[in-house]
Amino acid sequence: MRTQVVIVGGGPSGLLLSQLLLKSGIESIVLERKTKDYVLSRIRAGILEQGMLNLMREAGVGDRMDAEGFVHDGTLIAANNETFRIDFVQRTGTPVMVYGQTEVTRDLYEAREKAGGKIVFNTDGVVIHDAKTDAPYVTYTVDGTEHRIDCDFVAGCDGFHGVSRKTIPDSVRSEYEKIYPFGWLGVLSETPPVDDELIYANSPRGFALCSMRNANLSRYYVQCPLTDHVDDWTDAAFWDELKRRIPEEAADKLITGPTIEKSIAPLRSFVTEPMQWGRLFLCGDAAHIVPPTGAKGLNTAASDIHYLYHALKEHYLEGSDEGIDGYSQKALLRIWKAERFSWWMTNLLHRFPDQSDFDLKMQQAQIAFLRDSDAAQTVMAENYVGLPY
Catalytic residue set:
72, 200, 292, 296, 384
Q: How many CA atoms lie within 13 A of 175 on its CB side?
A: 18
The whole-angstrom separation of Cα 100 and Cα 218 is 11
What single-letter DSSP state applies at residue 123?
Answer: -
The whole-angstrom separation of Cα 220 and Cα 197 is 13
- In sequence order, what DSSP letters do the residues of 195-231 get, joined into one string? SSS-EEEEETTEEEEEEEEETTEEEEEEEE-TT--GG
The whole-angstrom separation of Cα 325 and Cα 336 is 19
The whole-angstrom separation of Cα 75 and Cα 194 is 13
- Say if residues 112 and 30 touch (Cβ distance below 8 Å): yes
Burial of 172 by CB count in 10 Å (0-12 exposed, 13-18 middle, 19+ buried)?
exposed
Handedness of CA 108, 113, 115, 117 (dihedral sign): positive
For residue 48, what are the CA distances in angstroms to 19, 135, 239, 254, 337? Answer: 18, 36, 27, 25, 17
Q: Which of 6, 112, 27, 25 is nearest to 61 (CA)?
A: 112
Pairing, β 74-79 against β 199-203: parallel
Q: What's the one-letter identity of residue 58?
A: E
Other residues' Cβ atoms within 10 Å of the Cβ of residue 154 = 27
- Say if residues 165 and 280 touch (Cβ distance below 8 Å): no
- Say if residues 60 and 19 touch (Cβ distance below 8 Å): yes
Per-residue burial over 262-284, b if 16 or more Cβ lie within 10 Å, else e, is: bebeebebbbbbbbbbbbbbbbb
